[in-house]
């Protein structure tokens, strides 16, 4: 018989007292439910002084914004906790700390990050964190290298692929990234003014073929343990600090997916800036986003190559030049997944504040058109874009 029950605020406080690891557990007295996502309850647990001390997160057995008509497995909470624990082993400085988790209750206790801010909100407000992209590149390199065939024993990795099989959450990604935007689906969400662009996108046969290839690689390439949903809303930043959170989409997939998703979110902000801030500030911000894309990729790829040179365990994969060749494939994948992120966040189910909070309707539509067009062109030309400098040149050309 299952022990699962849905937590109330009182339950979350009691759980934090037991498993939060605070020196004075009875000082924990209140909980605020702050979850703004679609999948979980998230409680800030506060002490008698009103200070948030730990976070209690519990998975719901359905998609929150839809209800019980869209059920989901609770095993995703185990996958999220164990993904974060493994990522934390290899990159503790940039992974939220899991203090405790219980698979049956689908609950975990995490460190409190109240001194951090959600990166997307900061980007939308035009705030810049100069170390964030290098830190994110470090996180991606450490986590993806150490869970790949370069480092993991082949037998261990095969067992880990099985352990992190995540079919229901992967199905969401497969649908929202690669299927829904390219058909007339009830989950899609866009202003009617974009209908001509959406119709043209769906009628673009070369685009649909390229998206099919991206989806097939997502389905079949078990290359490393991905975060699986690494966007600017699943990253906390502070001065000199960055932490990845929300890894319930974790699974073994193509290495290019995580950096591609991250770059896509930087470019969503790039597309939205003209509608979010003043003309001069937007121009400066867009230049900074292009520098951020460069910094992210170079930080990731250079660290990955260094790790491959220093720590590769498989003697065949350690052959000089192979890691460079592998990363070139990863790069092409990343550019394609970046384009898919731009499209799905514009006309699919899950939108972003970088575009949706633009107040003036005509400007919002122009920024959304730009995101769609840029995403389409990046997917179509991904195999011809050889490096990050060429990507930035293409973005300038497409803008």
Whether 9-111 and 117-398 share one fold: the answer is: no
What pLDDT shows up at residue 171? 95
Domain coordinates of the chain in residue numbers? 9-111, 117-398
Model pLDDT, residue 2: 80
The alpha carbon dihedral of 256, 82, 80, 86 has a sign of negative
Q: What are phi and psi of 58, to 5 degrees?
A: -130, 130
To the question of whether residue 324 is assigned a binding role by annotation, the answer is no
Contact call for residues 82 and 247 (beta carbons, < 8 A) = no
CA distance 342 to 20: 38
112 is in an annotated binding site: yes
Do the annotations mark residue 10 as ligand-binding?
A: no
Q: Is 269 annotated as a binding residue?
A: no
**Tokens 């959170």 belong to which residue?**
245
Per DSSP, the residues of 184-226 read --TT----GGGHHHHHHHHT-HHHHHHHHHHHHHHHH---EEE
CA–CA separation, 390 and 397 (whole Å): 10
DSSP 384: G
Whether CATH 3.30.200.20 fits 9-111: yes
Centre a 10 Å sphere on the Cβ of residue 101 and count the other Cβ atoms it contains: 20
In whole angstroms, give the CA distance from residue 264 to residue 371. 10
| Contact in structure between 28 and 56 (CB atoms under 8 Å) | no
Q: What are phi and psi of 313, to 5 degrees?
A: -95, -25
Q: Write out 27-39 in H/E/C secondary structure.
A: HEEEEEECCCCCC
Q: What is the pLDDT of residue 250?
A: 98
| Secondary structure class of 44 (helix, strand, coil) | strand
Q: In the block, which residue shows the tokens 């299927």?
A: 179
Task: For 117-398, give the CATH class.
Answer: alpha beta
**Is 344 marked as a binding-site residue?**
yes
Angle 174-110-89 (CA atoms, 0-180°, nearest 5)? 75
Please tell me whether 199 is known to bind a ligand.
Answer: no
44 is in an annotated binding site: no
- For the segment 222-242, what is each residue's pLDDT rounded down to a tens digit? 999 999 999 999 999 999 999
CB atoms within 10 A of CB 8: 13
Which pTM was predicted? Answer: 0.96
Q: How many CB atoms lie within 10 A of CB 395?
A: 20
Here the tokens at position 186 are: 């009830």
Q: How far apart are CA 213 and CA 250, in angstroms?
A: 21
Q: What is the pLDDT of residues 265-282, one digit of tens each?
A: 999 999 999 999 999 999
E-assigned strand segments in the chain: 28-33, 40-47, 52-59, 62-63, 67-71, 98-102, 107-111, 117-118, 224-226, 235-238, 241-244, 251-253
Q: pLDDT value at position 69? A: 66
Give me the pLDDT at residue 355, please: 98
Measured in degrees and rounded to the nearest 5, phi and psi for residue 115 equal -85, 5
Helix, strand, coil percentages for the chain (3-state, nearest 5) = 55, 15, 30
Tokens describing residue 271: 């597309």
Q: How many CB atoms lie within 10 A of CB 240?
A: 10
154 assigned ligand-binding residue: no
> For each of the chain's 399 residues, which pLDDT tens digit applies?
689 999 999 999 999 999 999 999 999 999 999 987 668 999 999 999 999 999 999 999 877 666 666 788 899 999 999 999 999 999 999 999 999 999 999 999 999 999 999 999 999 999 999 999 999 999 999 999 999 999 999 999 999 999 999 999 999 999 999 999 999 999 999 999 999 999 999 999 999 999 999 999 999 999 999 999 999 999 999 999 999 999 999 999 999 999 999 999 999 999 999 999 999 999 999 999 999 999 999 999 999 999 999 999 999 999 999 999 999 999 999 999 999 999 999 999 999 999 999 999 999 999 999 999 999 999 999 999 999 999 999 999 988
Intra-chain end-to-end CA distance of the chain, in Å: 57
Q: Hey, what long-range contacts does 179-186 have (CB within 8 A, 24 or more apart)? A: 179/215, 180/344, 180/348, 180/349, 181/343, 181/344, 181/347, 181/348, 182/207, 182/208, 182/211
């Amino acid at each position: 018989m299952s022990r699962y029950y849905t937590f109330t605020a009182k339950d979350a406080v009691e759980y934090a007292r037991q498993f939060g690891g605070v020196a004075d557990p009875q000082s924990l007295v209140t909980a605020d439910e702050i979850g703004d996502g679609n999948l979980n309850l998230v409680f800030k647990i506060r002490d008698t002084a009103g200070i948030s001390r730990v976070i209690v997160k519990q998975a719901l057995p359905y998609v929150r914004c839809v209800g019980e008509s869209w059920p989901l497995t609770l095993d995703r909470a185990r996958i999220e906790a164990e993904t974060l624990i493994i990522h934390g082993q290899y990159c503790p400085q940039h992974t939220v700390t899991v203090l405790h988790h219980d698979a049956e209750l689908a609950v975990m206790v995490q460190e409190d990050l109240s001194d951090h801010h959600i990166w997307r909100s900061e980007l939308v407000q035009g705030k810049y964190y100069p170390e964030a992209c290098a830190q994110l590149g470090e996180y991606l390199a450490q986590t993806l290298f150490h869970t790949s065939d370069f480092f993991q024993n082949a037998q261990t990795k095969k067992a880990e692929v099985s352990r992190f099989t995540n079919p229901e959450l992967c199905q969401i990604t497969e649908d929202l990234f690669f299927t829904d935007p390219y058909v007339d689906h009830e989950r899609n969400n866009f202003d009617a003014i974009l209908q001509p662009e959406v119709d043209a996108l769906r009628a673009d046969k070369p685009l649909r073929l390229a998206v099919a290839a991206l989806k097939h690689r997502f389905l079949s390439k078990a290359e490393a343990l991905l975060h699986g949903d690494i966007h600017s809303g699943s990253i906390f930043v502070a001065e000199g600090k960055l932490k990845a959170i929300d890894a319930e989409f974790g699974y073994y997939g193509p290495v290019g997916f995580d950096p591609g998703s991250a770059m896509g979110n930087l470019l969503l902000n790039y597309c939205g800036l003209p509608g979010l801030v003043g003309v001069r500030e937007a121009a400066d911000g867009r230049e900074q986003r292009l520098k951020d894309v460069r910094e992210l990729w170079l930080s990731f790829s250079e660290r990955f190559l260094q790790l491959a040179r220093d720590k590769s365990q498989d003697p065949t994969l350690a052959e000089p030049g192979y890691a460079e060749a592998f990363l070139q494939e990863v790069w092409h994948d990343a550019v394609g997944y970046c384009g898919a992120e731009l499209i799905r966040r514009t006309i699919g189910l899950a939108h972003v504040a970088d575009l949706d909070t633009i107040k003036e309707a005509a400007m919002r539509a122009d920024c959304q058109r730009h995101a769609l067009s840029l995403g389409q062109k990046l997917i179509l030309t991904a195999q011809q874009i050889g490096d990050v400098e060429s990507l930035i040149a293409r973005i300038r050309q497409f803008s």
